[in-house]
């Protein structure tokens, strides 16, 4: 899993990744609500001095990076209840352990027809399944 950094005008987009890791763990928080809805957030830290992650934020904005949790620490993160231990996770992932490659060109999607059904997808790290899950929610079309 990777993401695209294209914040700097005139430069090619890059896609940071972790060598040998097909799935990336990002520290996050989530909460379920009584109406069967969920809210999610990814933790971020300042990345002003990080050679890779500082390129993922537009010029003029504070440089931020998601908090990457190495696979060997996923269970520790998911079961952590100690605030000091939680703080120990909020660091930048070492640049030397990351790779970057040119990102694929992403074409803008054409606007969906008014009658099209829209599927909302979310990829998240869930404590109750112990890994990355995909949630898909179907939204009614605008004509319905």
pLDDT in tens, 3-29: 555 544 545 566 677 788 777 788 888
Question: What pTM did the predictor assign?
Answer: 0.61
Residue of 41, 46, 15, 14 whose CA lies nearest to 29? 41
pLDDT at 120 over 80: no
Judged against a pLDDT cut of 80, whether residue 132 lies above it is answered with: no
* Average pLDDT value for the chain: 68
Measured between alpha carbons, how far is 128 from 33 in angstroms, rounded to an integer?
A: 16
Give the model's pLDDT for residue 110. Answer: 61
Are 68 and 95 in contact by the 8 Å Cβ rule? The answer is no
What pLDDT shows up at residue 123?
Answer: 38
Comparing 34-43, 91-100, 127-136, the range with the smallest average pLDDT is 127-136
What pLDDT is attached to residue 48? 85
Burial of 65 (0-12, 13-18, 19+ CB in 10 A): buried
Q: How far apart are CA 43 and CA 25, in angstroms?
A: 11
Instruction: Give 142's pLDDT tier (boundaries 50, 70, 90).
Output: very low
Q: Give 14-110's CATH code, choosing from 3.90.180.10, 2.60.120.10, 3.90.1680.10, 3.40.50.10140.
A: 3.90.1680.10
With the CA atoms of 69, 72, 78 and 80 taken in that order, what torsion angle do they form, in degrees rounded to the nearest 10? -90
Half-sphere exposure of residue 23, counting CA atoms within 13 Å on the CB side?
Answer: 12
- As a whole-number percent, the residues of the chain with pLDDT over 70 amount to 57
């Amino acid at each position: 899993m990777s993401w695209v950094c294209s914040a700097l005008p005139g430069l090619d987009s890059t896609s940071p990744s972790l060598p040998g890791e097909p799935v990336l763990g990002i520290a996050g928080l989530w909460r379920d609500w009584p109406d069967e809805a969920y809210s999610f957030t990814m933790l971020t830290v300042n990345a002003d001095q990080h050679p890779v992650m500082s390129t993922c934020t537009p010029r003029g904005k504070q440089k931020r990076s998601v908090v990457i949790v190495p696979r060997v620490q996923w269970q520790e993160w998911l079961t952590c209840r100690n605030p000091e231990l939680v703080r120990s996770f909020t660091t930048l992932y070492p640049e030397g352990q990351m790779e970057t490659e040119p990102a694929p060109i992403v074409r803008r999607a054409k606007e969906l027809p008014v009658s099209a059904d829209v599927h909302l997808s979310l990829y998240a790290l869930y404590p109750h399944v112990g890994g990355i899950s995909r949630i898909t929610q179907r939204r009614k079309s605008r004509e319905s």
